[in-house]
Amino acid sequence: MKFCVVFSLLFCIFIHSVYAINGSITGQGTKEDPYQITDAADLQKFTDPTYGNVFWAAGVYSQLVADINLDGITIPPIGIPPINFMGHFDGNGHVLSNVQVELLSWNTVGLFMNVLAGASVRNLGLENVSVLGQKTYAGGLIGYNAGIVTHCHVTGTVEGYYQVGGLVGWNDQNGQVLNCSSAADTSGFASDIHCTAGGLVGENDGAIVACRATGNVHAYSGKDTGVAAAGSLAGKNDRGSIQNCYATGNVSAEATYTKAGSLVGHNGGALILNCYSTGNASAIATLTTYVGGLCGVNLGTVRASFCCMSPSCGYISWPGMEQNVFCVSSSGMQVRSIFTDVGWDFVDDGNGTEDTWRMCVDGVNPPRLWWEFSPGDVACPDGVAITDVHALAMSWLTDDSDLNFYENTDLNDDQKINMLDFIILATHWMEQ
């Protein structure tokens, strides 16, 4: 224990000596006046572990106020033990591009190393990220998460060892990943242990809601009795839940025992509800292979979910509990009634109040999530129009104590529906 503490402190001193810290972050760190990160120098200061007790502490608020290109600039990860990230980081809709994180000797790798319960990361984009780890958890945004992650996206590549995810390596029991996406290609290569890789999350023991993954995934284990589990959305869904999500990437696994699913590689005692996948899954194993269009192995519960009919679509290899689980043709994936017949809630369908999914016309695309559309485009038909003004006005006039009903009209994510949301809608309407 003493060795770990001493080593961590020495690492912090080393980081401080390597990275030039010239940032002048303004703000008070409160919810009303968060710390303001305006440029690369500010970000270097924010990520410097010697300032961790200031910027990463519980109850501290920080926000990004501009896009930052980190090409040629190296930053350490946020939340390096013993000072884990316990604050609140708001990307404010901005993007960090060309982020590189390479830590071969640490157990957890990501822009955020460890995000603990009570913390949050929201409204942040990482584009052309490159993450490389050779220990336990690796994620494009977060290595280990027990907090709340919402409205974040990642593109690029993530390579790791044991639990690897395009967005999050391991989403622990308290972790929530909401309204997020990953287009990162994800690879796990383990020589002497099992390997789990997912396009969005490596292993999920928490909640994943209204998310998508579109990158390709590969998992490899060289262990004699090794298991490789790969899924386009999650490699393993062990004790958690995945609801209202979809994945389109291709999946492959290679090991002595393999589990490859175009949505989830291994679904343990967990729930998958209202999800679909369209990618192909394949595997190579010296002993046993399980491949499925939704799950390679299912020991939990899968309900009201779909996979696209393909050569890999044996949709569940080890049946757990299944209700209304179907393989359909690619054209069938573009028919809204197929989904509403099993209870999916679409915008403008009268099938519920959450309006999670959207498909304005049949025969064009499979369902998409409400948040994928441009700000202000909250109702059918596609494009910002008078129908969207009407939808926002109806939400505005309604008691906003139940924001779950009207999240798609809270355009600036401030938990209120008011004139600020109308201004955003009007701006995008005028731009069309």
Q: What is the pLDDT of residues 190-224, one digit of tens each?
A: 888 889 999 999 999 999 999 999 999 999 998 88
- Decide: pTM greater than 0.85: yes
Question: Which tokens in the block code for residue 2?
Answer: 């003493």
For residue 298, the number of C-alpha atoms closer than 13 Å in the C-beta half-sphere is 26
- In whole angstroms, give the CA distance from residue 277 to residue 247: 5
CB 112 within 8 A of CB 80: no
Q: Which residue has the tokens 């120098």?
A: 41
- In whole angstroms, give the CA distance from residue 53 to residue 422: 39
Cβ density class 61-85: b for 16+ within 10 Å, e for less:
bbbbbeebebeebebbbbbbbebbb
* Listed ranges 32-46, 97-111, 364-378, 395-409; the one with the highest mean pLDDT: 32-46
Mean of all residue pLDDT scores within the chain: 86
Q: Counting every residue, how long is the chain?
A: 432
CA angle, 322 as apex, 316 and 323 as ends, to 5°? 135
Question: Which tokens in the block code for residue 12?
Answer: 């912090």
Reported confidence tier of residue 399, pLDDT bands at 50, 70, 90: low
Looking at residue 407, its pLDDT comes to: 64
* CA–CA distances in Å: residue 352 to residues 12, 180, 210, 347, 405: 51, 22, 16, 9, 9
Q: What is the average pLDDT across 309-323?
A: 52
Tens-digit pLDDT profile for residues 40-83? 999 999 999 999 999 999 999 999 999 999 999 888 899 988 99
**Residue among 325, 314, 319 nearest 291 (CA):** 314
Q: What is the average pLDDT across 134-139?
A: 87
Looking at residue 329, its pLDDT comes to: 87
Q: What is the average pLDDT across 292-296?
A: 86
User: Is it the case that residue 104 has pLDDT exceeding 70?
Assistant: no
